[in-house]
Amino acid sequence: MDVRQIVMEDAPAVQAIYAPYVAATTISFEEVPPDIMEVERRIAAIVPHYPYLVAEVDRRVVGYAYASEHRTRAAYRTSVDVTVYVAPGAQRSGIARSLYSRLLPAAASLGYHAAFAGIALPNEASIGLHESMGFELVGIYREVGRKFDAWHDVGWWQRLL
């Protein structure tokens, strides 16, 4: 597996990985999968300020992870939200761990101090990953999201970098 900085040519692969999570799960609270142009816009907005990595196996992108703005107020400027997605069928093979193992130090090297991960509940796999990477639960927002005609809780995990 190769973990590297994202390039704009990775946008179709990122879109293909993310779309099923949007369309069929509550892992993402988006309701309509973004098209490739929107994924390109998001990559362009993130890359100048935050790390954004992809994992490749046999030259095929199988996962991605990035950091992004935690909150807009200036006092939060050294905190980031982090996210990781792995292609269906490639989960539980160490891809997410490899991505975070590079992403978190990259964020720290850019001067970020704290990383936060919001996890739609239940999601034992994501909780297990984040806790194994040193994240600790800081709280749960009850019934904060509504998708598929149901309310969903979101847990927030934090790790100091």
H helix runs in the chain, sequence order: 11-24, 36-46, 95-109, 124-132
pLDDT value at residue 90? 87
Name 160's bridge partners: 114
pLDDT value at residue 92? 87
In three-state secondary structure terms, 18 is: helix
For 27-59, b/e burial (b = at least 16 CB within 10 A) is bbeeeebbeeeebbebbeebeeebbbbbbbeee
The answer to whether 33 touches 14, Cβ cutoff 8 Å, is no
pLDDT along the chain (161 residues), means of 10: 97 98 97 98 98 97 98 97 95 95 98 98 97 98 98 98 98
pLDDT value at residue 1? 93
Residues 6+ positions from 95 with CB-CB distance below 8 Å: 1, 55, 57, 62, 63, 86
pLDDT value at residue 8? 98
Q: What is the pTM of this model?
A: 0.96
Domains and CATH numbers, the chain: 2-160 (3.40.630.30)
The answer to whether 52 touches 8, Cβ cutoff 8 Å, is no
